Each structure stands twice: as C-alpha cells, then as structure tokens.
Structure 1
Amino acid sequence: MVSCYLDEVTCTWHHYTGAPSADNKTLTNTPQTIEYDLWLVNGSPNLSLSNTMFYQFSFDRQNTLELYLLFWLCYIILMPVQIYAVRTQRHPVTKLFTSSLVLEFVALCFNVLHTMKFAADGVGFPRLAVAGDILDIMSRTLFMLLLLLLAKGWAVTRLELTYKPLVFGVWMVYGIVHILLYVWNTTEVDIIEEIDEYQTWPGWLVLTLRVAIMTWFVLELRNTMMYEHNMPKLNFLLHFGASSLVWFVYLPIIALIALQISPLWRFKFLLGITYSADCLAFCIMAHLLWPTRSEQYLLLTPSGYTAGIDELDEFSESPHVVHSDTVALTAESINAEEEEVIFARPQKNGVAFS
C-alpha cells in the first residue's frame, strides 16, 4: 500500500498528513482487508472488442478457437448427410464409419465449448477438454480399424473376417498406447518445455506403430486386389487405397516437419494439419460409401442359400474360370473358309446352343 490519496477536486496525489485519525486523508491504525483480482492476459483486457478470441491464450495457442469453429462447421454439414446415408443403407461398414464420425463430432463439440469458455474467463472446462481429446483419439483409432477391415476385403470380397484376434489386438494396442501417450504428455511433460507429443519416446512409439500398421494395410490391400476381378470393386479398392494411404502417412511426415518449426507456431501447425487431414478423410469415405455408389461393391449380407448362389455367380464370371461345358478347340471346329472359331456346347433338351 502507498500512503497517499487522490484529491478528486484538483486531481492530484497527496501524502497523508498529521496523526492517524478516522478521516479520509489520514492514516489509521485500523486493520484493513484488501480483496483484489490479478488477471494476466495476452493483450489489454480493455480492448476486448478487438481481441476477445485470443487475449486469454498464450501466443502458441492463439487462433485455436477459430480453427475449432471452422472444422465444427464442416462437421455440422457432414453429420446430417452421413446420418441420412446410414438410415438409407444399414450396412455394418456404414455403421462403423458413422460411429467414428459421431465420436469425432462429439470430441470437437467438447473442445469448442472448452475453448469458448476459456476465451471468456481464462479457465474453461478442463475435464471437458480432456474428454474431447480422448474421444478424438478413439475416433481416429476406430477409423483406422475400418480401414484395416476394408483392406482385408471384409464386406467387399468376403463376409467372414480372417485373423480376427490379430486385427483387433493390433487395433487395441495402438489405441491404448495412444491414450497413454496423451496422459503421459499432459501429466509428466513440463508445460514450459518446448516439446510436443511427437518429440518424446512415447510419441515416436505411436508413429512407429502407425507406420507398421500402414505397411500391413498396404500388404492386405494388395492381397485383396489380387483375388478380385469385379471391376466396380477394383475401382473402389483402388480409390480407397490411395486416399487411405495418404491418411496413414501424413502424421509421420508432419511430425518430422514440426521439428523445424518454431515452438510458437508448432501446436497450431499440428492442430490445423491433423484436423484438415481427418476432415478430408471423413469426406472422402462418406463419398465412397454413399448408398447409391456402395451398393455396387459392398456385400449386402443376403441370408442362407441366396448368399452362396450370389458368390458362386460372381466367381463363375471371373476371367480365370474355365467352364466345364465348353468344348476344347479341335481341327474339326475350325472353318477354314471363314477362319472363325466356334465354341459349341452339348445339346440340352434336344436344342443345340452355340
């Protein structure tokens, strides 16, 4: 405290004079309780009309609210479209993709609420932010599971999934390690250290697992395409594989690029690229799995005998199948004058077919 006062008449400061007394201009011996609010912000709070979006945030996290709102608007458009699609075609692949999209949207809603509250009071909803981050990780791991299942040909070339324990085991390991990395990064890494989650050994472990899963994805997709001869399905697998491979490989690449970026911009760089890649991947997958398009290459799981007949029909139409009722070429079947080859079939019900 300073032993002076402001003279409101002359608008000047004066020292207290005389012995302590109870008047306004003299010190007293009465104990005083002072209540104060210390508010540290980035920028002047009095200029709130011009910088409400970022003066509560440190520089490396400024403009994150705008990023969250931008992608939230994108998902607001994508969500009703995908809900319509899953109601139109109740297929396991469509349901799994919709579940991943819903988790991502809920996670983004939590992050938007926390960031908006933080922009207002500098506190926000910390628990809601943690829940949003974990749901975001779960959404990405569920999307990765969908990519692995489709690469193995599930619901595209076959109805039964092979090596189920291996697929779900790898998926669970990746998800658990990713969540443990998030917990470790938020509890063990000092906030003043200029590192991000991908500059630590748990981060490198997650990236290594992602690259290993990507390699497995490519091998499974190659194996599936080798035994598929239906052109619509091959076109789907080709476009699906190209877009999925980009989604797999982007994170290790930007993690390496982030090492060369200043810590002041690194978080916003990783956040923007990650959300952009995920949003683009969801949009492409929604396009590929749209009901009028996916019915050309997704198995709709018919029941019992009909399913077997349909699969046999598709197999019999494959180019590598030689029908048993086709007569081999002989010298007698060749017309020397017209030089035409005739495939003759045995008579059926007294009628010859050619």
Structure 2
Amino acid sequence: MDLSPLEFVFIFLLFNLGVRIVVCLNVVGSWQAGSDKELMTVLAAFAFQKTDPVAMEGSRGYIYGNITSSSKVTAAQLVLVDYELFRKLSLVLDSSHKDKEPCTHLMGPISELAFEKRCFPNNRQDFFRAVPCPSFDLCSEEDDPLNVVPGSQFSFHIQDTTGARFWYLLLTNCLLNEHCNWTKSNSRVRLNYDIWLVNGHPDRSGINPFEHQFSFERQDTMELFAFAFLLFLALAFAQLHSCRKGEKMVSLVLLAFLVMRVLGFLLHSFYCLKFAFYGRASGMLTLFGDLFASTADMGLMLLLIAVVKSWPSSIRNFMSKRRYGSMGIVCMMLQIVFTCTAAGTTFQYIPLHMLETWPGWMSMATRLLMTQCFMMELRFAVKRETSREREDFLLHFGSGCMVWFVYVIILAVAVLQIPLLWRYKIITGTRTFIILRLSLTVSGICILADFIAYSALVHLFWPQSGKERTYFEEPRSTRQSGGEEWEEFEQSIISTDQR
C-alpha cells in the first residue's frame, strides 16, 4: 500500500503517542514474579525534597500503599534505593545474565546498608519489604502500626536533611534463603500494587497540593504555567485589539501564534491541576501543550524571516515564494515529529525535557538553519535600505531577534552541566516570579524570553503607532507591484558577492 508523506507522518505520530498516554506517581498495576521473569523492574522514580529538621513529619517523603496477591507465599522483594545505589544496581544488572548467581551480585550493594531483622540486624536503612503482604494485614517488616499510613500495608519514610534526592522503588525476583543468601524466586505469583509517592505527610496534602503529589524537580510548575497562561492571554487580547484596529497579515499571523501559546500553557496548567489532586494525569495533555508551543515558535521564526525578506513591504506573498514556502512546511512537519518523538523520553527513568534529548538537538539544528536564513535576509534588507534611520532600526531589530533565535541553543548546551534535579525548572522558568513562591527555583528562562519576544512584536506592529508607521510602511516612492524590483536588487547583490 502506497502512503502519501502526510499519511506516513500521521501513522508515525500515532505509533509514538500510543505508548505514552499516562504519567503518574500513584503507581497502579500488576507484576508477575517467577524465576523465568525479569530480575528487577522499576515501579517509580521520584525526587523527595530536603527534610526540614524543625518540621520532620510534614516535610519528609512518604511511600505507602498495598501489594496483594491471591497467593500467601512470599514471592519477591519491594526495594527502595537512592540514585547512587540505583546506578550501581543498573551496572550489575547489565552483566547479571553472565552470572550463575545474579541475585547475589544484584542485591549485594543493598545488603551492605539495608536492615533485615533475620539476616542483616546491624544495618540501619529501611529498604526492604517482602511481598505480597498478608491480606488485610500489614507487611511483616512493619513492626509499629503507628508508622504506617492508615489504609496501607506498608510505608517508607524518606528523611534526608542534606538535600533533595531521587529515589527508586523496585520489585526484584530475589529472596533470602534460610542461610541468608540471595536466590531467585521460584514462585510464579501475580502481584497487584497500588502505591503513592508524596512529599509531606499524606494527612497534610491540603496545605500545598501543588507540591504534595509532585516530584521535587516538578514542584511549583503549576504556578509557573498558570502565571505564563495569564501573561500570554493578556498579550493575545492586546493583539486581538490590534487586529481589530487595522487588519494586516502579519498581525493576524502573530495573533494565531499567541493563541497557540495560550492553549499550550492552558493544557500544561490543566495537567498539573489534575495531577495535584489525583496523582495521575494523561501525558497527552503535556504532549499537545508542547506541540502548540513548538509549532508556534517555528511559525514565529518563519514570520521574522518573512518580515526582513519583504522589508519594508507586505509579507502577503511570502508563502507563495517556492523557496521559503516549501521550507516552512518541511520545518513545521519536522518540528511536530521531533516533539512527538521526544515525548516520554527518560534517563535513568527520570523524565527529560525536550532540550535534553536527541530529537531536541535535531530541533536545535533546524533552529540554526532558520537563524542562518534570517541573517541572510537581514543582510539583503540592510543593503537595499536607503534611509539611515530605518537602517539603524533594522539592525537593532535584527539583533534582538537573533538573541531570541539562539538563546535556546545556548541554554541547551549549558543545561547539560546542571544536575537533573534542577534542569526542568531552569529550562521552563525564571527566578523572577517571587510573588508566586518561585523564589527558591531558577525557573522561567524560556517563558520569560518568549514573552519578551512576543511583547516586542505586538508593540512594533501596533496599528498607528509611531514605530509601525515609521519603520514598517514602505515609502510610496519605492513601492513596486509584487516586489519585483526588490527581487532584482537581491539577485544583483548575490551576483556581486560571488565575483
């Protein structure tokens, strides 16, 4: 069956979206224990905040829930490890297929730290739970019912006064035998689990619901996206008023991109709101939010190229020019593919921002191509400009646009040097939103930069403003039908440079 390019892209996107529907920290599911199954599986990766020594109970992390089965036989171990220990286990797991006793090597690093009343009574860390737990009863390791969250069979308390850290919740097919040696489980048992991971005591979730359910690196993002939504919504209404006062193609196109950004922030805000109250939300919300944002940014780059390409006349015929019309369509399709491919990408089971993935770097390469096109057209526009005042403005306009073109690329390089705990907030926000409790995070870089760029364009293209009349209206003496003279002038510049 022959497929058109658009049909192929559509099927490709459906394939990528189909496996990335739900992201949650209320972990619900089932797992088959048994000797022929995988040795270890990761249930969740979650960053717990720094514990406040003054308010231990309200600031420590909690993992609680139920793991049940129709069988009463102990079939597996529920294990809690931090990021550094998980990296060691991952290295051991990669080579475990060569070992005759893989469980001994896998669980060895944990056995040096974790308490087990029969085999490791001198260790102090509470990392183990034998599962399944008895029906309608606590797990065997829970010796004090007061430490268990009501309605749960087990609870882990994560207390770290040194700083925030990623923790991993694992299920392993390994058990301790009567000689305290680790062996593979021979029990083919299906385990059903319903587990919550939260920052702060579960009974105090109402104090700050926008931090309680969220992993540390995603805390405060609800306030960030909600504030960004309000900012861009106000800007979109201003641009709508601008379009009503004087309709121009450039103003209508800019309004369309602003509406896309507003929809993107709205979807992100709704995702965070739903996650805050239910611990689960559809990843499709954030995916479509990212799609709106990335396509709007790509469209804005094309719009800026159109402005300098047609300077100072209308951009009405820009997309009809084969070179940039085709390039615009291809770049838009590539941006959609890159955004969908990057969705759900993880490193050590930690979700990554698009800028940290290979599709994100391909998107940066496309952005570099657009930057080169903008610089080339800006050079032509400056050379054909006869007014010194307009030429100075064009140079300043181009310089400001260039900063917006390249800042994401610089940020993508710099962010790789920053710990994973802080990357997401650095990419998505800025420190300036102190009024919204974001004073402790470095957030808003992308949002703030984009808002400044869109605000500047709304101001420049405002009908009957001094700048719009002075710089964006072509003098009557130089107007040519269809811009043919500008094309001839551009070709003469190219010919001169080639000599």
Output the TM-score relative to the length of structure 2.
0.51
Instruction: Give the C-alpha shift of residue 50 in structure 1.
Output: 2.6
Give 1:295's aligned residue. 469
Quick one: distance in 2 between partners of 1:138 and 1:250? 17
Q: Does the CA-based 8 Å contact 1:156-1:233 persist in structure 2?
A: no
**Structure-2 change in CA distance of 1:158 and 1:211 (3 Å):** closer
**Structure-2 change in CA distance of 1:36 and 1:289 (3 Å):** same
Structure 1 counterpart of 2:201, from 44, 53, 66: 44
Q: Does the CA-based 8 Å contact 2:275-2:281 persist in structure 1?
A: yes
Q: Does the CA-based 8 Å contact 2:353-2:424 persist in structure 1?
A: yes
Structure 2 letter corresponding to 1:284: A
Structure 2 counterpart of 1:226, from 355, 360, 383: 383
Instruction: Give the C-alpha shift of residue 129 in structure 1.
Output: 2.5
Structure 1 counterpart of 2:458, from 277, 286, 291: 286
Quick one: distance in 1 between partners of 2:283 and 2:136? 42
Quick one: distance in 1 between partners of 2:413 and 2:345? 22
Give 2:46's aligned residue. none
Give 2:242's aligned residue. 85
Higher mean Cα deviation, 251-260 or 271-280?
Answer: 271-280
Give 1:213's aligned residue. 370
- Superposition map of 1:123-138 within 5 A: 123-138=280-295
Quick one: distance in 2 between partners of 1:170 and 1:237? 24
Quick one: distance in 2 between partners of 1:308 and 1:291? 18
Quick one: distance in 2 between partners of 1:229 and 1:3? 85
Structure 2 letter corresponding to 1:287: H
Quick one: distance in 2 between partners of 1:168 and 1:162? 4
Q: Which runs of 4+ in 1 moved over 6 A?
A: 2-5, 307-310
Instruction: Give the C-alpha shift of residue 74 in structure 1.
Output: 1.2
Would you say 1:143 and 2:300 are equivalent positions?
yes
Would you say 1:203 and 2:203 are equivalent positions?
no
Give 2:99's aligned residue. none
- Superposition map of 1:95-114 within 5 A: 95-114=252-271
Q: How many residues align?
A: 279
Q: Deviations over 1:166-208 (max 9, x none)?
A: 2122223322222222222225656715754334433222212
Identical-residue share of aligned pairs (%): 30
**Structure-2 change in CA distance of 1:4 and 1:81 (3 Å):** closer
Instruction: Give the C-alpha shift of residue 299 in structure 1.
Output: 4.1
**Structure-2 change in CA distance of 1:311 and 1:261 (3 Å):** same
SS at match of 1:78: helix
**Structure-2 change in CA distance of 1:93 and 1:230 (3 Å):** farther
Instruction: Give the C-alpha shift of residue 105 in structure 1.
Output: 0.8
Give 1:258's aligned residue. 415
Structure 2 letter corresponding to 1:68: F
Structure 1's unaligned 5+ residue stretches are 6-11, 14-34, 301-306, 313-354
SS at match of 1:296: helix
Q: Does the CA-based 8 Å contact 2:385-2:391 persist in structure 1?
A: yes
Instruction: Give the C-alpha shift of residue 213 in structure 1.
Output: 1.6
Instruction: Give the C-alpha shift of residue 225 in structure 1.
Output: 1.4
Q: Does the CA-based 8 Å contact 1:232-1:296 persist in structure 2?
A: no
SS at match of 1:50: coil
Q: Deviations over 1:18-66 (max 9, x none)?
A: xxxxxxxxxxxxxxxxx99643323222122332111211122111111
Query: CA RMSD of the aligned region, Å?
Result: 3.1
Q: Does the CA-based 8 Å contact 1:198-1:204 persist in structure 2?
A: yes
Give 1:311's aligned residue. 479
Structure 2's unaligned 5+ residue stretches are 1-133, 139-144, 147-191, 430-444, 481-499
Quick one: distance in 1 between partners of 2:254 and 2:212? 38
**Structure-2 change in CA distance of 1:55 and 1:217 (3 Å):** same
Give 2:158's aligned residue. none
Give 1:316's aligned residue. none
Instruction: Give the C-alpha shift of residue 158 in structure 1.
Output: 7.6
Larger radius of gyration: 1
Output the TM-score relative to the length of structure 1.
0.70
Instruction: Give the C-alpha shift of residue 131 in structure 1.
Output: 1.8
Give 1:336's aligned residue. none
Quick one: distance in 2 between partners of 1:3 and 1:89? 70
Higher mean Cα deviation, 152-161 or 71-80?
Answer: 152-161
Instruction: Give the C-alpha shift of residue 309 in structure 1.
Output: 6.4
Q: Does the CA-based 8 Å contact 1:236-1:288 persist in structure 2?
A: no
Quick one: distance in 2 between partners of 1:194 and 1:131? 16
SS at match of 2:337: helix
Instruction: Give the C-alpha shift of residue 283 in structure 1.
Output: 0.7
